[in-house]
Amino acid sequence: MQDLNVFFHAIQKGERESVGVYLDNEPELVNTLDPRSGLTPLMTALYYMQPEIAGLLIERAAAAALLQRHAGGAA
């Protein structure tokens, strides 16, 4: 993603659909850090009291971890 600020701004504003699209296109965003605050997407959602976004991020992080585990051959 060219501008992480746009992604983190969508999290702060509770724009669930936008955040979902960003994550669909770039699943690795779930583990990025906000260049301004140093917070993860999940920490940002919690700080800005966006529980729906937090839930989405937890789901996506769990899915990414599962895919990584299976791709790496770990049981």
pLDDT digits (tens, 9 = 90+) for 29-56: 998 999 999 999 999 999 999 999 999 9
Instruction: Assess whether pLDDT exceeds 60 at residue 73.
Output: no
3-class state of residue 1 by DSSP:
coil
Domain spans of the chain, in order of start: 4-72
pLDDT tens, position by position, 4-20 = 999 999 999 999 999 99
Residue 59 — φ and ψ, nearest 5°? Answer: -60, -45
* Residues in CB range of 37: below 8 A, 6 or more apart: 8, 44
Q: What is the pLDDT of residue 61?
A: 86
CATH class of domain segment(s) 4-72:
mainly alpha
Can you give the pLDDT at residue 26? 94
What dihedral do alpha carbons 45, 50, 54, 57 form, nearest 10°? -70
